[in-house]
Amino acid sequence: MRNAVQLDTSFLITLADPRRERHATAKQFFQHFLKERMPMAVSAIVVTEFCRRQELGTLPLEQLMLVPFNHEDAVIAAGFDFKEFKADGVDRQSLKDDFKIIGQAHARDFGYVITDDAETMFGYCESLCAAGRTHLRGIKLQAGFSLEAFTSDGQKDFPVVMETAGEYPAE
């Protein structure tokens, strides 16, 4: 299911809370996933984190695949060895949970992980991908809505190109 996307806790919190800075961007991605019929997975780990802040029933559950974390997911996640990514100030439990979510998405052959956590979750995903350890592509809400993540060569989508067209000097 390379077109499936794993939804991170921070993405869901941002999607559910219209007061958050990137709520509109999260909605755009969610609507894109629906339009393109991209399966949207929510890990049991994400459910645990999300439910610390609000009730699960506040999410559009009929549109989501709730995915248990099983032993195959655990074996893949353990193979990523989160310890090499441990940095000062990074909570060890959050680090482990992020790697479980990434490992689960990799084990289930999902294509993407979307997050509002650019510094940790997105960074881990991108580092693992750059090292050839996963095929997952990270999507961060901080970059705004773009279809760029869904192209194999990082091609920008047409509206983004047109927004910057005015920067070229006229002949």
Determine the pLDDT at residue 151.
76
What integer best gives the mean pLDDT of the chain? 86
Tokens standing for residue 21:
């800075």
Whether residue 170 is predicted with pLDDT greater than 70 in this model: the reply is no
Dihedral angle sign, alpha carbons of residues 14, 18, 19, 23 = positive
Nearest to 45 by CA among 74, 72, 17, 14: 74
Cα dihedral 57, 150, 102, 104 in deg (nearest 10): 70
The average pLDDT across 111-120 equals: 94
Whether residue 160 is predicted with pLDDT greater than 70 in this model: the reply is no
Domain containing 71 equals 5-167
Model confidence pLDDT, tens digit, residues 41-51:
999 999 999 99
Helix, coil or strand: residue 157: coil
Domain count, the chain: 1
Give residue 156's pLDDT band: very low, low, confident or very high (50, 70, 90): low
CATH label of the domain that carries residue 13: 3.40.50.1010
